[in-house]
Amino acid sequence: MNKKPIYVTRPFLPPLEDFLPYLKEIWESHILTNEGPFHKQLEIALGEYLGVKYVSLFSNGTLALITALQALKITGEVITTPFSFVATTHALMWNNMKPVFVDIEPDTCNIDPEKIEAAITPSTTAILPVHVYGNPCKYIRIKEIADKYGLKVLYDAAHSFGVKEAGISLVSFGDLSVLSFHATKVFNTFEGGAIICHDQKTKEHIYQLRNFGIINETTVVTSGINAKMNELQAAMGLLQLNFIEKSIGKRKLVTETYRFILGNIPGITILKEQPDVRYNYAYFPIFINANLFGKTRNEVYEELKAQNIFSRRYFYPLISQFPIYSGLESACKGRMPVAERVTEEVLCLPIYPDLEMPVVDEICGIIKDFRK
């Protein structure tokens, strides 16, 4: 058994020495927040890395989502997925919007575009899809539907940092896309987030919403919130960017090892990689069919835990199964058969840049040996 516990992720930190010069600059300037120099540099650097023009930094991804919904002036009903982290729909609730859940596709775990139209009502104003595990949504089809019905599209791209399809960054899709830089994500600023938009005017509007609605010393134009990224976070982001390619490369190796060892075990399904996608390998989900595997997902989860390995059931329960949402009509049992099955089968195995290969082998060994 592992002496030290292995968690599903371990936040990446650059060498401490490399962070000290940034700290020194902050201490010398006394600029701690409010669009300081590191904040400005990080917006530019992220724009270059992600291949987008307009990046607005936030203190975290959830506030970025809440603000993005306000920036798009969304109201009423929003079509979204039950297979995500609760922040996706909590952001709707904080804006007095009603989530309407639609089932997912089995091959990507993303919202099934072919089920969106049936969920549209006169109150629908937007679609809020999530690129789950960094797998691209069917954004071309989603845009077609949105355009047909005059709906806005906001992507929760919290898992999608650095992911590209046909050379185009996933965060460039939708009216707006939102990133999270939380400690557990592929790219972290301890906590943090961003909204990606398509023009300067929208960016300025987002800035107002992010900073109390203040325009200048004497003018406040809207009841904005405080969701600014501070200089410590921004400095960490600048430093993290130096390591991101190497981190993603190491995650890829972990992924390939898992795929190689677990790829042919009856009862275990692994999502297929789509062609022409550059992944970020944020998560490594497997799907356990209890009939074929001989053990349930929960039994595998408990067995790993007993060996000091802490996998996570992302996403279980479904958002629509939490009591605060389960009363909604769209959340009714039986309405989303794919999501209801996938949530019982999914298990995300540990993955992070410095996860050692012998540990990956060991995790796979435990799973293989546990099969009946």
Ligand X SMILES: *Cc1c(COP(=O)(O)O)cnc(C)c1O
> What is the identity of the amino acid at 154?
L
What is the signed CA dihedral for 159, 349, 339, 273, rounded to 10 degrees? 60
* 173 vs 293 by CB, closer to ligand X: 173
**Taking a C-beta distance cutoff of 8 angstroms, is the pair 160, 280 a contact?**
yes
Residues 118-157 that bind ligand X (CB under 6 A): 130, 156
Question: Minimal CA–CA distance to 141: which of 91, 176, 105?
Answer: 105
Angle (deg, nearest 10), helices 61-71 and 200-210: 120
The binding track of 50-79 with respect to ligand X, each residue x by CB under 6 A or -, is: ----------xxx-----------------
Q: How far is the CB of 182 from ligand X (least distance, A)?
A: 4
* 104 vs 158 by CB, closer to ligand X: 158
Question: Does 240 help bind ligand X (rule: CB under 6 A)?
Answer: no
Residues 286-325 that bind ligand X (CB under 6 A): none
Q: How far is the CB of 357 from ligand X (least distance, A)?
A: 26
Choice from 38, 54, 83, 85 touching ligand X (CB under 6 A): 85
Pull the structure tokens for residue 216: 């200048």
Pull the structure tokens for residue 229: 């990224």
- Rg of the chain's alpha carbons, rounded to an integer? 21
* 102 vs 130 by CB, closer to ligand X: 130
* 155 vs 293 by CB, closer to ligand X: 155
Choice from 88, 202, 255, 330 touching ligand X (CB under 6 A): 88
* 92 vs 288 by CB, closer to ligand X: 92
Q: How far is the CB of 201 from ligand X (least distance, A)?
A: 26
Measure Cα distances from 34 to 19, 22, 208 in Å: 20, 17, 12
* 268 vs 336 by CB, closer to ligand X: 336
Element (H, E) at 232: helix 231-241
Q: How far is the CB of 282 from ligand X (least distance, A)?
A: 9
Residues 9-28 that bind ligand X (CB under 6 A): none
* 182 vs 293 by CB, closer to ligand X: 182
Q: How far is the CB of 307 from ligand X (least distance, A)?
A: 26
**CA atoms of 333 and 227, how far apart (whole Å):** 36
Question: Minimal CA–CA distance to 245: which of 161, 151, 332, 158?
Answer: 161
Question: Does 84 help bind ligand X (rule: CB under 6 A)?
Answer: yes
* 262 vs 280 by CB, closer to ligand X: 280
Question: Does 99 help bind ligand X (rule: CB under 6 A)?
Answer: no
* 110 vs 202 by CB, closer to ligand X: 110
Choice from 39, 152, 159, 250 touching ligand X (CB under 6 A): 159
State the sign of the Cα–Cα–Cα–Cα dihedral 337, 132, 287, 324: negative
Pull the structure tokens for residue 155: 């992507």
**CA atoms of 188 and 182, how far apart (whole Å):** 5
**CA atoms of 297 and 288, how far apart (whole Å):** 6
Q: How far is the CB of 225 from ligand X (least distance, A)?
A: 13
Residues 190-229 that bind ligand X (CB under 6 A): 193
**152-156 vs 98-101, strand pairing mode:** unpaired
Pull the structure tokens for residue 365: 């060994």
Q: How far is the CB of 3 from ligand X (least distance, A)?
A: 30
Q: How far is the CB of 89 from ligand X (least distance, A)?
A: 10
Q: How far is the CB of 88 from ligand X (least distance, A)?
A: 5
State the sign of the Cα–Cα–Cα–Cα dihedral 66, 69, 70, 74: negative
**Taking a C-beta distance cutoff of 8 angstroms, is the pair 194, 56 a contact?**
yes
* 112 vs 268 by CB, closer to ligand X: 112
Question: Does 87 help bind ligand X (rule: CB under 6 A)?
Answer: yes
Q: How far is the CB of 82 from ligand X (least distance, A)?
A: 12
**CA atoms of 127 and 77, how far apart (whole Å):** 9
Residues in the chain: 372
DSSP letter (8 states) at residue 82: S
Pull the structure tokens for residue 271: 């999502």
Q: Which residues are near ligand X by CB under 6 A?
A: 60-62, 84-85, 87-88, 130, 156, 158-159, 180, 182, 193
